[in-house]
Structure 1
């Protein structure tokens, strides 16, 4: 088994970005996906099979990573890999800026240009996408996706499984609930309830 050999489940565009970050941080990448990728889709990296093949190959890898966009499914599959005995790392692009006083849990990816400031806490299986900013004392619960160019001011909390769309902004001390959606470009100035979608400037609840 290679010392730095990682299996990435998910060969879509998001998976390829995650693979690039893994390569940048010293991993040898093998792709797995339930749908066999088209020729060239894995950036020249090997394809090992479907999810159950990955579970069976646990002894062949130093680590594994779930690289799919669906928050709920990403969390579920990460639990399955942990149960199977895989080590799940964090993947942080070297062109991001992450405070040494921030904490980031396993299975989270931090993309280039992202900033995570002091005392921020990021749960497991999160996506902090390209150019997103997470300011001081923010809390991202498990399975959150902060899209490219989204900005969270200080002391913002984002509930489990929630998604903040591209270019959205959230005012300081706002709480976004569990399984909520903040639409692209929204400006959130007050708390967002669980299981709701908000959009607009300022953001309001969608029917």
Structure 2
């Protein structure tokens, strides 16, 4: 059946509505890889990474890299330093996106986009996940309490200073209660590690 709309128009409309698309999603909508390639050559789309496209005049969110990472790792969850930064709980500027995936999830090949992948057990990966929309993309991010607990669990990778900053800021900005953090720490198996810091920070009310 002949296509009623030109492929380029379909691609532009989809990208305008959804921000970032994988080549597979464009193909599903009837846009061939050859058309996308020609659009890239003509400057109508930009290639963010292998098989990942966006319009050249798209308005970039401060969290653009998270949206890009979510497209590359649809099952992944933004975690640790990247999640802290998303919630405004750290001054750390990470050059890579920290992302949690399942123990058996496939890891895409390295690309020009720096992503630090951590493997979580299924129960820890499913716990405390929130979905936020960034540039039209649904991005899964661990909630504040879970993120703080995970930072202590992986303090060997990110440093205790970063974990403490996240805890302090989460309490100061009232983005999580001490009880919420204690619960998440218990689930993550780090309650004995966090407890002394939590008690010290909440001792004065």
What TM-score, normalized by structure 2, do the two folds share? 0.31
Structure with higher Rg: it is: 2
TM-score (norm 1): 0.31
Q: Which has the higher contact order (CA 8 A, sep 6+)?
A: 2
